Structure 1
Amino acid sequence: MQYRTPLLTLSLLIAWQNPVFAAPGNTCTGQALSKTFASGASWNLCWEPRQAEGIVLSQVTYKAPNHAARRVLGEAALSQVETALDDGSVAPLFLTTEAGFGGNNLQTLNAAACTNGTLHATSGRNVLCDTTRNHGYSYKYTTQRQGQLWELSSHSQIGSRNYAVRWRFYENGTIEPSLGLSGELPVVDASATQYGWPAMQSGKIATGFTDHALWRLDFDLDTTHANDVVEEIISTPSADRLRKTKTITRLNTETGRNFDPETKRFWRIRDGILTNGSVGQISYELIPNRYDHSRANSSNTPWLANDVFFTRYNACEKHAANNPTSNCTANVSQFVNAESLNQQDIVVWYKQSYHHLPRSEDSNRIGTVWSSFQLLPRDWHSTNPF
């Protein structure tokens, strides 16, 4: 770490090949996996490793106690991670498609990496850890209830960095995808103080960097994958800040949208037909996180210009950037081409940006930094099922 080195060596790069894309519907690709909690709530899904994305989940269904199981996601994965150094000395790299979170970069896990959990293998290697954890109160009022979550995690080593991809499936139906960064500082410079931090006892400067991660979430609510709707929900404060006015707008065509710290803005994907048996239409809402990094756009590129994109399913639209272009376009900003979102198969592309300005504590190992967001059931049931 005493010399300036590239973030990735050429030996870590892979020759890109067009991947085989799964069609929408009820097809389970890979291995089936399930978790049933003591309450009777359960999750069922399939998983498989891919060269670019690493672990990909499909046919994710949730069942609350004494209720029928319903599908939430047809497919879900980390679509792309771009990393860019603050000093601009190395061109931004697409870690997913240029290096790959799968293949040899997908780490073999041992028991120490999966404490109190179960390891799952593919091609003779344990690559997925399955654990169950307590998460605290599900609710507390005149009565109380402690809840649990089911966690699936994998690790990918790319150059000097280690990325943990973690999915948490809560007993109450919440889904929390997370990306964890650790490893070694990739670049050290002796003079570029304006681009980094003196992280070494010798006074060496560790250069800052930004990671942009985009998740691809193919929503296929319940039994029919092509009848979903996207709604934007905003609570706007009055001038005196004493009231908030709610507005709900259906997004009828493909679009990119941004967070707004001044208003409460979020989105939900709802089934175009099915209700919860009462007044609500079943849906999942997107709970944003890390507003402080939401407008980051290292290279001033269109695919980073929005915090979330909504598109209609297209089999070749797999990677938010550096997407294979033989039958498709290059990035998510081009996927947005005015196709209808009304009663369609909806794909959500959620961006997480994180700027890391090193500190002395990172000099030998970067303390793991987690970036996460949540998908929360809204009107999935007519009452709290617990």
Structure 2
Amino acid sequence: MRVNRHSKVRTRAAVGLTVAALAAGVTAGAGPATAQPKAAPAASAAPYCGAAHRIEQKLSTGTTWRMCWRYDSKAGLVLENISYQPKGEPKPIKVLNSARLGQIHVPYDDGNIEYDDLTGFDFAQGLMNLAPGECPGGTIKTIKVPDSWNEDPNVKGLCTTTRARGHAYRMQGDTANKVYQAQGKDLLVYTVNQVGWYEYMTEWRFQDDGAITMNVGATGSLSWDDYDAGDGRGWPIGKGASAKATSHSHNAFWRLDFALDGSTANRIEQYDSTVAAPARGQRAPTTKTTRTKVDKERAGDSKNYRWWRVVSAAGKNKDGHARSYEIVPGPTTKYPGRSYTKHDVYFTQYNKCELFASHNPGDCGAGAGTSVDKWVNGQALKHPVVWTNIGFHHIARDEDQQPMPVHWQGFSIAPRDVTAMNPLTPAELGWQNGHWQPRS
């Protein structure tokens, strides 16, 4: 599916057709919404951004998420000053200074072409108007696109809504008559950006248990003039086997600037476990977990029994444990063709000009390079920035037409010791913290 990026005129025409289709009621399924986000009351308004750029949502389970948003001329939607306040916490807990896409790199299998959609092909300019049906139960905010080449730069393109997540937990109590269960709720924030024939859905899910999930979903259309993979690398689409769509990869990067408890002096830790066969006299294998402090810039790779966390240097939960967030990678197909896509995660020292994982347009100094792999050069991590790389190898199929179902790629960050107990714990179980004894 070679995306038609050869003419801005043709791309803009496609955008116009899509907006017309939305106006006629052709919308992508967005899942059930459960409540409309309410405007933040003036008394609780955070001072860091004006009301027009503030998102504040108290979910029905008691958790409140707060953040600011802005729109970047290349990265698109940027979320800033993100904080999380579950019930029982007296004040918001800051999590991130900023969260944004870092690049969408699209190389084709035949080696004839590759794209960097954020910095090289007007990703941000392709912001789409959303129809009300695409944001059920929510609010669509208007974004003024910087440096817009459209006649009207104002796009109704930012959806904020809430969705049911399913079970947050379920537990049979110590008597057969009691079941504890709760249905989870998420704040959902998303935009849609068209790049050629693709439409990218950039989705941020803020869960009531403190987790954040970041996804990019690719949908839209198979390019009608991209059935020329005569080299055997493509997949036949339509009648017979004469028309073959070229296979390609989507390598999506995210850039997270953590500020746990309001401090950027966070620590990075890597955990690895090894499993050994049962020793003499043991009934089962043994597992040993070791911690490695990541004090300097590093590129890392996901593997079995490996995980990372970002640890607060400024705050602890009510049990006296340092707050942290664990990085939870999603399914990925790692693309080895470029140096910057060879690793799953990068930890770099903050530099305000290091914004895009490849073809970074900023001048970061002599010899700095223009991709994230070049920035991993041994600097001490005093203010770490986390980059994640999640890949998807797209081999087109008959079911990709027409329109193409969304294929998702992404990852999560999960709270680890941010609160002393499950933030959704029912009040009658609040005393069961740590090594508790059953009550008579």
Contact 1:120 1:127 in 2 (8 A): yes
Contact 2:262 2:314 in 1 (8 A): no
Q: Which has the larger radius of gyration?
A: 2
Q: Who is 1:23 aligned against? A: none
CA distance in 1, matches of 2:60, 2:362: 47
Q: Who is 1:248 aligned against? A: 291
% identical equivalent positions = 29
1:87-236 pair list within 5 angstroms: 87-90=110-113, 92-103=114-125, 105-123=126-144, 124-142=154-172, 143-186=180-223, 188-190=226-228, 192=230, 194-201=232-239, 203=241, 204-225=243-264, 227-236=265-274
Report the AA paired with residue 256 of structure 1.
Answer: A
Residues 83-106 of structure 1 deviation map (CA, whole Å, 9 limit, x = unaligned) = 01111122x111000123223x01
SS at match of 1:272: strand
Larger proportion of strand: 1
Q: Who is 1:34 aligned against? A: 56
Superposition RMSD on alpha carbons, in Å?
Answer: 2.1
Contact 1:53 1:100 in 2 (8 A): no
Number of equivalences: 361
SS at match of 1:373: strand
Q: Who is 1:377 aligned against? A: 415
Measured at CA, do residues 316 and 363 of structure 1 come closer, stay the same or move farther in structure 2, by a change above 3 Å? same
Contact 2:53 2:68 in 1 (8 A): yes
| Structure 2, gaps ≥5 residues long | 12-46, 145-153, 173-179, 279-283, 425-440
Measured at CA, do residues 188 and 100 of structure 1 come closer, stay the same or move farther in structure 2, by a change above 3 Å? closer
CA distance in 2, matches of 1:286, 1:307: 11
TM-score w.r.t. structure 1 length?
0.88
Deviation of 1:41 (Å): 1.0
Q: Who is 2:99 aligned against? A: 76
Residues 58-113 of structure 1 deviation map (CA, whole Å, 9 limit, x = unaligned) = 000000102021110101111101101111122x111000123223x011112122
Measured at CA, do residues 348 and 136 of structure 1 come closer, stay the same or move farther in structure 2, by a change above 3 Å? same
Measured at CA, do residues 88 and 7 of structure 1 come closer, stay the same or move farther in structure 2, by a change above 3 Å? farther
Range moving further from structure 2, 375-384 or 193-202: 193-202
Residues 325-381 of structure 1 deviation map (CA, whole Å, 9 limit, x = unaligned) = 42343010111121111xx22210000100011111113332110112111000001
Report the AA paired with residue 110 of structure 2.
Answer: D
| Structure 1, gaps ≥5 residues long | 14-25
Measured at CA, do residues 290 and 201 of structure 1 come closer, stay the same or move farther in structure 2, by a change above 3 Å? same
1:8 to 5, 11, 18: 5
1:324-335 pair list within 5 angstroms: 324-328=361-365, 329-335=369-375
CA distance in 1, matches of 2:132, 2:63: 27
Q: Who is 2:309 aligned against? A: 268
Residues 300-342 of structure 1 deviation map (CA, whole Å, 9 limit, x = unaligned) = 322112100001111000000101242343010111121111x
1:357 aligns with 2:395: yes
Report the AA paired with residue 324 of structure 2.
Answer: S
CA distance in 1, matches of 2:161, 2:258: 25
Deviation of 1:280 (Å): 1.9
1:310 aligns with 2:347: yes
1:336 to 371, 376, 394: 376
Contact 2:119 2:361 in 1 (8 A): no
Deviation of 1:382 (Å): 1.4
Deviation of 1:296 (Å): 1.8
Contact 1:220 1:346 in 2 (8 A): no
CA distance in 2, matches of 1:115, 1:27: 28
Measured at CA, do residues 382 and 361 of structure 1 come closer, stay the same or move farther in structure 2, by a change above 3 Å? same
Q: Who is 2:328 aligned against? A: 287
Contact 1:52 1:99 in 2 (8 A): no
Q: Who is 1:346 aligned against? A: 384
Contact 2:110 2:231 in 1 (8 A): no
1:43 to 54, 65, 73: 65
TM-score w.r.t. structure 2 length?
0.78
SS at match of 1:44: strand
